[in-house]
Amino acid sequence: MIQLHRIHAAAYDALDTTGTYLYDGRWHTRGARVIYTAQHISLAALEVLVHAGGRKFPPKVLTRIHLPDSIAIEKMLLPSELSASQRFGDLWLAEARTPVLQVPSAAVNGLEWNFLLNPAHPDLRSIKHDKPIAFPFDPRLIPAR
């Protein structure tokens, strides 16, 4: 079993795709339905902080997501320039080649992995996730305003 981590707003389900539908991301363009997860809890936290850009954000929760060992995972080896990575991710979603795409995290210079989940892929029904738990950020990580 592969364990992934997602830190998200407490008001939303762990597998909600509203944010990716409304906003561009590293591996998709607006209008796509995709779920971003991280290899480690610390990476998931760093990704939240990077994307917050110093802005205050609503309370967050952590959800652990469990992938069965049998699930197909496509791996993108090289970090890409933003528009190239968006084109790659959009094509991956549209073709539904695999339910999971492993991608390098730009937040840590490609040295750790994020995992994208394609909610439209039928094999994604085999994933399970725990109940979310509160994930308060240490105030030292958030710049004072």
Q: What is the pLDDT of residues 51-109, one digit of tens each?
A: 887 777 889 999 999 999 999 999 998 767 889 999 999 999 999 999 999 999 989 98
- Asked whether the beta carbons of 65 and 38 are under 8 A apart, the reply is no
DSSP character string of 40-87: SHHHHHHHHHHHHTT-----EEEEEEEE-TTS-EEE--S---HHHHHH
Q: Report percent pLDDT > 70 for the chain.
A: 97
Q: Domain boundaries in the chain?
A: 2-136
